[in-house]
Chain A
Amino acid sequence: MEDWVSIGYLFSAALFIFGLKKLGHPRTAPFGNQLGALGMLVAVVTTILSMQLAGGAEWILIGAGLVIGSLIGYWLAVKVEMTGMPELVAMFNGFGGAASALVALSEIWKYLENADTIPTGLELTVTMVAAGLSALVGWMTLTGSMLAMYKLKGGISVFGKWIKTPTWGPSWLNGVKVLLMLSVGVLIYLSIGEPTNTDYMWGIIGISCILGIVLVLPIGGADMPVVVSLLNSLSGIAAAFTGFIIGNSVLIIAGSLVGASGLILTFIMCKAMNRTLLDVLFKSFGGSGEKASLTRTKVGSDADEVAMMIDGAQKVIIVPGYGMAVSQCQHQVKEFADLITEKFDTEVKYAIHPVAGRMPGHMNVLLAEANVPYEQLIEMDEINGEFPDCDVAVVIGANDTTNPAARSGEGPLAGMPIIDADMARTVVIIKRSLSVGYAGVDNDLFYMDKTMMLFGDGKAMMSQLNTAIKEI
């Protein structure tokens, strides 16, 4: 590698480091993202220039690939609804993992077709190990991310029929995961001895694809964001391994940066749910367990009743959940908050559970889209102390994140921190039915005497409520 190319890559790696650092603070985050993009531009331009100077580049092919990829990526990013964001991030992530694995495969393919290029000694060992690991992590990221994407969507439409994405994971599956992992290790070892044996190569690819699926299959509901974050970390590691094969410093640095920071983010998310990463990966949770059958009933209220009760409330805390994302009612929620602030002079705040929705920060993004002032969004730990002084807690499509059963120390929700909505003087819950949430645990909050249920779609109910308030 020429000196100036190495310096270009160093510059780009520095931009990635500053970019990631700045992405962690609200004020500097947009600039951090731009720094990251600039770093990528520097790396690409450096590579293309060096290819051109080294004898020429295949402009049509390379240009076509760059343009096609850019257009598809940009189109997807611009077109996506805010609620579809988690799925899109999962999909991009899968593509990133696949790209790393394909580069590794492309290197190996040279050896298959042209035995003269097979390296010897140390280089052969490093190449085969790195290629095997890159394939393992890359293909696993692809299949895992694709499954995660369809799990976040809830299902897939095949010939007009809606097929629900399954969540399935008996405990013996953990043994299978370990076994598959080990067998990839063995195949990598064997492939060093026989680099041209394609059976090993296809074996590694096949097993890695299966591994991605069995890893994500048992995981459901609230744990999904954690898995997407972990897969994100893995796709970085795949890029780093690919860097070892082609001996490229910027791939190694950027890949391991993403791998490590992604892992930290994964731990932060686990901590928010009071779960360990091992629990998430190896103890099936959410959706797969026996769901409690509903034996209790609760009489629903209507919008007028709730509106009258809110008239006179001094403090209202809104607790949004996944239901708000599904029904896209964030604008109605904002309208509701404005109405009661103006009409009844009520103080309005929003209680944000760290894992509400399908992604950390999901609620913040949706509410920001509806122009809710940032200062009104309060994180769980800070707002929980305010519920005893709160006249009405309005829970919109949230379930597990408000379930008092989490405090009992038993059942699947045990120990998960929750929003203390049940401490409010009155609780209004907007939900389609009394059905259980992802954890499969019945929610006592619904049946409390001070709870008023508004059964229905979030958007429809919020609109009715707003109309009722206007009429008061």
Chain B
Amino acid sequence: MTPELLIGNITLFILAIFLGFELITKVPATLHTPLMSGANAISGISIIGALIGANVAYDAQQTVVSGILAFVAVVLAMINVVGGFAVTNRMLNMIAGKKRRGA
């Protein structure tokens, strides 16, 4: 890892944090729970790291134990991702679906 790469990553990190602060400003109370749940599903992005880690046989550096750990991570991250988006969708269908019919 070169210092340039590290600084690039830190730049991404800081800018994304500022962006995250700006994205959410005014949210009606109705959407607090769905928003939390949707953001939570996005935090399951570590699935990418888990997938790469679980690719044991094709990465000479991997060992069996590190592969198993990554495999467990794939399962947990996938529960978070699929469950999170599905449950958010269910909540929003209830809230927004009703609103459309009521209007």
Contacts and interface: CB of A to CB of B under 8 A. Distances in A.
A361 B21 contact: no
Contact of B39 (A70, A114, A265, A379): A265
A113 B66 contact: yes
Nearest to B81: A40
B79 A95 contact: yes
Contacts, number: 396
Interface string B16-34: 1111110111111111111
A252 to B, nearest CB: 5
Given A58-B57, A80-B87, A106 B38 contact: no
Given A33-B88, A248-B49, A256-B17, A23 B38 contact: yes
Given A61-B56, A109-B69, A265 B27 contact: yes
Contacts of B95: 26, 29, 364-365, 368, 374
Nearest to B70: A106
Given A232-B36, A259-B17, A247 B51 contact: no
A228 B42 CA distance: 16
17 contacts: A30-B92, A44-B48, A65-B75, A76-B79, A77-B86, A92-B84, A95-B80, A96-B46, A100-B43, A103-B46, A103-B50, A103-B73, A253-B12, A261-B24, A264-B20, A360-B29, A374-B95
Nearest to B53: A106
Q: Top 4 nearest A-B pairs by Cβ distance?
A: A69-B78, A260-B20, A73-B83, A360-B32
Interface stretch (A46-54, A173-181, A415-423): A46-54
Interface stretch (A162-170, A235-243, A282-290, A309-317): A235-243
Given A26-B28, A232-B36, A260-B16, A57 B78 contact: no
Contact of B49 (A21, A225, A246, A361): A246
Contacts of B84: 73, 77, 89, 92, 96
Contacts of B86: 73-74, 77-78
A261 B16 contact: no
Interface of B: 1-3, 5-6, 9, 12-14, 16-21, 23-58, 61-63, 65-67, 69-96, 98-99, 102-103
Contacts of A78: 86, 90
Contacts of A445: none
A57 B41 CA distance: 25
A117 interface: yes
Contacts of A25: 31
B75 to A, nearest CB: 4
Q: How large is the interface on A (under 10, 10 to 19, 20 to 34, 35 or more residues)?
A: 35 or more
Interface string A413-441: 00000000000000000000000000000
Contact of A65 (B37, B48, B78, B91): B78
B44 A40 contact: yes
Given A40-B41, A69-B78, A248-B48, 15 more contacts: A30-B92, A36-B85, A106-B67, A113-B63, A122-B2, A235-B40, A240-B16, A252-B13, A253-B16, A255-B45, A260-B16, A261-B39, A265-B24, A265-B35, A374-B95
A269 interface: yes
B73 A99 contact: yes
Contacts of A29: 31, 34-35, 92, 95-96
A447 to B, nearest CB: 30
A354 interface: yes
Contacts of A260: 16-21, 23
Nearest to B51: A47
A315 B84 CA distance: 39
Contacts of A37: 41, 85
Contact of B31 (A26, A95, A96, A103): A26
Interface in A366-381: 368-369, 371-375, 377, 379
Nearest to B69: A106
Interface string A85-99: 110110011011011
Nearest to A359: B33
A92 B95 CA distance: 21
A30 B91 CA distance: 9
Nearest to A68: B75
Contacts of B41: 36-37, 40, 92
Given A37-B41, A73-B79, A119 B1 contact: yes
Nearest to A89: B37
A409 interface: no
B91 A85 contact: yes
Interface stretch (A12-20, A213-221, A400-408): A12-20
